[in-house]
A and B are shown apart, each in its own frame.
Chain A
Amino acid sequence: MVDVAGKYDVAVIGAGHAGIEAALASARLGCKTAVFTINMDAVGNCPCNPSIGGTAKGHLVRELDALGGEMGKAADETFLQMRMLNRGKGPAVHSLRAQIDRRAYAERMKHCLELQKNLELRQAEITNLVKNDDGEWELTTRLKTKYLAKAVVIATGTYLGGVVFVGDVSYESGPDGIFPSKFLPDALKNMGMSIRRFKTGTPARVLKSSIDFTDLEEQAGDEPVTPFSYDTLEPGKNKVLCHISWTNEKTKKIILDNLHRSPLYSGKIEGIGPRYCPSIEDKIVRFSEKERHQLFIEPCGLNTEEMYLQGMSSSLPEDVQTAFYHSIKGLENAVIMRPAYAIEYYCCDPLQLRRTLEFIDFENLYGAGQFNGSSGYEEAAGQGFVAGVNAALKILGREPMILDRASSYIGTLIDDLVTKGCQDPYRMMTSRSEYRLVLRQDNADSRLTPIGRKIGLINDERWERFNKKQELIKEELKRVKSTVIAPSEKVNKILVSRETSAINTGVRLIDLIKRPQLGYDALSEIDENRPNIDRNIFEQVETEIKYEGYIKRQLIVIDQVRRLEDKILPENIDYNAIDGLRLEAREKLTKVRPENIGQASRISGVSPADISVLVIYLASLRNKNNGGAK
């Protein structure tokens, strides 16, 4: 008799940022869901920086929130400092970043999982995963307990086969000294899944009272605070300051003198590290001409004296770490509470996934987060949501939710992963989106809340608020088009003071807003009958007006690309049997197995001529199925 301790629609392995969103989405859609964590105290842990958001990552959080995810709300409730990055560099690259109280955040997330209907949070290490004869996934725990699930989401983060490196010391471990997932990698290999090793790292945490802040530059949050979530109507206040310091010649010398003791340079670490998140030794070797490197000193929470040293991750031995941290201004006497370390882990090759994040070859098995080769809490959460939603929709017999590149950064992230794969941990950047003038953080709700509503993760109250906001945006656009500003001494004085030309006939308000030197702020005295509405609406309207030409152009391209995405490639295509395709294209297409022509056209090594051949092949298939040409 197979003793089964529980049967679920969806089981999620891992309760980090990806696992949380996957489990919540699945449970909220009505699926009986279990989420397994190796350690109940590691749910929603932030083992690296105590912050949510940042460039492009802020977009991801906003988008996730617009769809009905949890991360934005949790960040709003537990933030210590909130900043909108890149003000002045243009609306496409505005990004929200929050310092959060790390423990408060994790606690808030864990409680949320515990309170969620249809959801069971269990402490268990999953050691085996096989499909039984009924086509259900059988999960075995370290305690040899068995669970059954119709669909499984793997969100193992850096736990999967985790090995920690500090100097010449290495040991099997997950992040923050928690057990790694030691047995699951073999189960996945036995299944026939292609997995590989990636590496990442984190800096030291030091005792606040041991830092001399006297000469360090301060960094404060924005006032007023802009929240992530469209549900947060009254955001809290900033509570802490961050500080900035710099490395120097001495730091450089200590690191270079001890480079041979780094596991990265001695070749002990085989995993591929992220290019965007280099350790300090990496930075110093690769950019040797740079005299100094910046670091941020960030508080980890209100009820702790641990301070995070952003920019200073390392895998050098502890004595070397102590020496080079002490060479930095303000850290001369710093007490290191947790040393920096590098961690190597298993992840899958994301080319094996569909855009729903289901494995092409393993039905009802999904991957999310760092397991898919990405990096970052926000990238993980976005994928977790997509995997959880699609696992649930599939079990419920509903249409999948596919976010394409043109819809969102989340869609871009997934498309990049499943189409181009990744050679190092993938971090989201605004430069990765060709549609970034359209995919802004200010309009994430306009783009995605209708999708969230359709899936069933946006409640009536939120939906009503959303529709009202869209209505207000429309009305405001109408108002600025119909409002005419008459020339007057007062008006022209303001215009001239903004270094833009005076008017001598009546001018529509919209045409004034279009002027690069002007905007809602500058026009507040001129635009006397302005309605009393949310300033975010003004921002969105201003952006739509100012960038109208560029936005329109991107929308045309999006329209063209979407037509290619509508041409679906059947799954069982034998590319080797299509004569017109070049050899390289056949190989690449066979490996990636794109879902449509649009995706196929983004694969490197597939030429426009190959795409033409595919289009014709598709049409001839259709004709054959229809019983010949029309």
Chain B
Amino acid sequence: MNEKTIAAIATAQGAGGIGIIRISGCDALEISQKVFKSITGRNISEMKGYTAAYGHIYDGDELIDSGVLLVYLAPHSYTGENVAEISCHGGLYVTKRVLRAVLNAGASMAEAGEFTKRAFLNGKIGLTEAEGVMDIISARGEQSSRAALGAMDGALRKKIDSVKENLITSAAHLSAWADYPEDDIPAVSTENLTGELNSSIDILDKLLATYDAGKAIREGIDTVIAGKPNVGKSTLMNLLSGYERSIVTDIPGTTRDVIEDTVMLGDIPLCLSDTAGIRATDDPVESIGVEKARKRVKSAGLVLAVFDSSKELCDDDRELIGLIKDCPSVAVINKSDLETAIDMDYIRKNVKNVVFISAKSGSGASELEKVVSDIIGTSQLDPSAAIIANERQRDCAKRARDFLNEAINALEMGITLDAVTVIIEDAISALLELTGERASEAVVDSVFSHFCVGK
């Protein structure tokens, strides 16, 4: 009976063992199918109720995590609708990443209390809870409208408003031109319109990029610790995280899996992945881990490449250096008690940032913090700049941007301007939603204030 399929993180936010993303609505299984690939290749949309599958979680082509998918079929679920729950590795970064993948696959962000609301509407919870749910929703509604008001003068609001105004002016011009063919409204030139749409897309693209930079502070940076086995990666990670997580032994190659953990490096949360070493290996199990590590290094937001100062650089080290050359990366030289044998000149020539640490004595952490803050740009982050702050805002801005791309595409294909206007209006609606305004008479009003029309 409900309109959209919704999704949200169902577990408490923060570091935890596992995170659960709940998807509810008639398309829950179809959307899950898009992000969750079962190991056995089974078709998610054909799964029975109360069954589970193990598999990998993707955002488009990009592998994010592995986890378990649980299926509940309507009406036997919390909300009474089809529900899929994806259990993934806990921690802010991964769960949000999975949520984003689910939203990208077509789900809408659940509003406050929406799962409970649906549960109630479908008769899954009783009358007595109804009042409570209404209270929650209205409290959250107040809160969000207050938040919207607070953000009125904010930099983001100004940016979005300027894009919105430009688009409304374009749409009003198109409307005046279509609705008043007998007034001498200048025809809309495709080149001008494309230019205007492109400049709006640019602004939205930049804003969407701030989400990733701003995200660094809110959610942490996707950080990979890489390096040859047994150079001290695990000990570095343990130093950063403050407790033992990885298996630390002297046998090379014991850290096989990508393990996620979030630690604070000064003000910046790092979402650490400890990888298997990058080395040639005949062990089939380990070679899977090595390949995975290579991919992770390439896609990471930050690479901490660890080298042992007491050993000379080998081919594996050189390969790693080549791999991180153009990535945001730091060469972390683990100083041991033994004599220095490493070729520092080679490292400095190829890697911009070098930090010496001693895992055992705990020194070097503050240098690392400074270097990382420079790389990520948080040291220059202007607190007054426009920043997209949450998943909802990102979702709206992204939809607006996608609509505008579609409009340009339609223009290039020679689709008539009536359809193009409708797509631009869809983009405007998405931006109005972002700023918490209602779809309104904005375009019609603008026609009358900007164009001299009428008999």
Contacts and interface: CB of A to CB of B under 8 A. Distances in A.
A85 B181 contact: yes
Contacts of A608: 111, 141
A310 B455 CA distance: 5
Interface in A281-296: 283, 286-287, 290, 293-294, 296
Contacts of A615: 117, 121
A278 B443 contact: no
Contacts of B438: 604
A293 B453 CA distance: 10
A610 interface: yes
A274 B125 CA distance: 52
Contacts of A613: 134, 137-138, 141
Interface size class, chain B: 35 or more
B94 to A, nearest CB: 29
Contacts of A628: 126-127
Given A296-B182, A609-B138, A616 B416 contact: no
A609 B126 CA distance: 21
Interface in B439-455: 439-441, 443-444, 447-448, 452-455
B137 A609 contact: yes
Contacts of B150: none
A321 interface: no
Contact of A610 (B141, B184, B415, B423): B141
A90 B142 CA distance: 43
Nearest to B429: A434
Interface stretch (A123-131, A353-361, A425-433): A425-433
A132 B334 CA distance: 99
A619 B120 contact: yes
Contacts of A609: 111-112, 137-138, 140-142, 144-145
Given A90-B416, A430-B175, A580 B454 contact: no
A617 interface: yes
A379 B175 CA distance: 19
B179 A429 contact: yes
Given A276-B453, A607-B145, A612-B111, A620 B127 contact: yes
Contacts of B149: none
B134 A580 contact: yes
Given A431-B444, A615-B121, A310 B182 contact: yes
Given A55-B181, A609-B144, A92 B418 contact: yes
A569 to B, nearest CB: 15
Contacts of B182: 54, 85, 294, 296, 310-311
B413 to A, nearest CB: 5
Contacts of B113: 612
Interface in A27-80: 48-49, 54-56
A428 to B, nearest CB: 9
Contacts of A48: 455
Given A429-B444, A612-B111, A616-B120, A582 B138 contact: yes
A277 interface: yes
Contacts of B292: none
B133 interface: yes
Given A310-B182, A420-B441, A609-B138, A437 B3 contact: no
Nearest to A296: B182
Contact of B121 (A89, A517, A547, A619): A619
A613 B135 CA distance: 9
A612 B117 contact: yes
Interface size class, chain A: 35 or more
B178 interface: yes
Nearest to B447: A431
Nearest to A566: B1
Contact of A55 (B4, B131, B178, B441): B178
A624 interface: yes
A277 B134 contact: no
A364 B422 CA distance: 39
Contacts of B416: 88-91
Contact of B454 (A56, A274, A610): A274
A278 B454 contact: yes
Contacts of B175: 429-431
A616 B120 CA distance: 8
Given A49-B455, A55-B180, A311-B455, A580 B448 contact: no
B348 to A, nearest CB: 55
B202 interface: no
A51 to B, nearest CB: 9
A615 B3 CA distance: 13
B414 interface: yes
Contacts of A380: none
B85 interface: no
A482 interface: no
A609 to B, nearest CB: 3
Contact of A290 (B121, B181, B452): B452
Contacts of B120: 616, 619
13 contacts: A54-B182, A55-B180, A93-B418, A429-B444, A431-B179, A516-B413, A547-B419, A550-B423, A580-B137, A609-B142, A613-B138, A616-B120, A629-B123
User: 9 closest pairs, A vs B, by CB?
Assistant: A609-B141, A90-B418, A90-B416, A516-B414, A580-B138, A431-B175, A92-B418, A580-B134, A287-B452
